[in-house]
Amino acid sequence: MKLTFMGAGSTVFARNVIGDCLCSEALRDSVFALYDIDAKRLEESKVILEAIRKAKGGFGKIECYCGVENRKDALRGADFVVNAIQVGLYDPCTIIDFEVPKKYGLRQTIADTLGIGGIMRALRTIPVLRDFARDMEEVCPNALFLNYTNPMAMLTGFMLRYTGVKTVGLCHSVQVCSAGLLDLLGMQDKIEGRKELIAGINHMGWLLEIKDKNGVDLYPEIKARVEEYVKQDVYYDRVRLDYIRNFGYYCTESSEHNAEYNMFYIKSKYPELIEKFNIPLDEYIRRCKLQISLWKDEYETMLEKGVKEHTRSNEYASWIMEAIVTGKPIQIGGNVLNTGHLITNLPENACVEVPCLVNGYGVQPCRVGALPVQCAAMNMTNINVQLLTIEAAVTQKKEHIYQAAMLDPHTGSELDIDSIKKMVDELIEAHGDYLPKYN
């Protein structure tokens, strides 16, 4: 079996996913092909993964492929392709995504999933994924593409609608959602054996049902505890808890993410909301700087002291591959096209996040039915932007970029149309060759 990892310079993530595969008897003797365009980071990944491979018994084989000219060889014959690329990196593109909007008074927290930052990230990533898809259709047409790169719904939606590549989008947030909520509210005794239903869109999947091991609905107790919890002077997860209070349901992704997916919390006319909801503006910038500074020390420590034993994580990738290879079924929360109206009150061309069965036949999405109307409405404010951004990438019409930004809840609530268009033009110019030419 062959697993190709696109963006293997994302060393920590590559270590987790491939390390997980090396923990599986069904996967550990595979060929692990590492692909990146950064030779230095690729070599760092190889060194670490070779150390893990040896620590896990020396199974499998690691191969490295650097540069676009070697991409087809990296993909050739692959059974699974994991995608974790970041086009444009932190410097310059993430910096641009934050600093240009800031000139217009538009502040962001993460800027990788929605908002003007998410739009621009999608527009510079989709052309690269289009090239990946063309190569895959030629050299590994039956491979499953496991996408981890954000903006998840836009990129996965593009792959599923406009390429012939079998694709599923994967996120970390589904598998930790309900346990994190119960732990936060002091309901740890309800975690084991709980039953849950999560569905919606990536980063705004709704915890629609949560029951204890005896089938007792936990939402009444959760809502009562939330009301007591938010009376404290210092408390966490404020935006998502506010979702419970105002929309009736908890959602999958963190409060710092969800603060910028709507028109409610980051408002220049109401600056007090930033403190009230503990919103970390420019958070992704801080995280990137910290990660860059820590990575050098971490790598040098690993070289000096060796790699510790890897413990298999809850990342979906290795479990999906194992289920397909062995036929032993698992359930995941996957990002798939809403074909056949898996969620009946969201459009069919939307990318939705729903429970999926994975077995020897691949990834099979489950029908959920209708979301509560207010949850579907919240999702649609994001889906509108996602669909228009994909349309812009496919048609290369600048008007669709304008429209995506205009309909983005946060951007549209803060800026007038002329300012939005001017900001988009400045962003396109600043990104330069990282973007195609728009007409």
DSSP for 217-268 reads B-HHHHHHHHHHHTTSSS-S-HHHHHHHHHHS-EESS-HHHHTTSSSSS--T
Spell out the residues 6+ positions from residue 232 whose beta carbon is closer than 8 angstroms to its own.
Answer: none
Residue at token pair 């908890």: 250
Using an 8 Å Cβ cutoff, are 285 and 98 in contact? yes
**Using alpha carbons only, how large is the chain's radius of gyration in Å?**
21
Strand partners, 362: 359
Q: What is d(CA 352, CA 350) in angstroms, rounded to the nearest whole number? A: 6
Amino acid at site 203: H
Using an 8 Å Cβ cutoff, are 63 and 69 in contact? no
How many residues are recorded in the chain?
439
Spell out the residues 6+ positions from residue 70 whose beta carbon is closer than 8 angstroms to its own.
Answer: 35
Active site residues: 172
Residue 151: is the preceding peptide bond cis (ω within 30°)? yes
Q: What is d(CA 256, CA 66) in angstroms, rounded to the nearest whole number? A: 35
**What secondary structure letter does DSSP report for 209?**
E
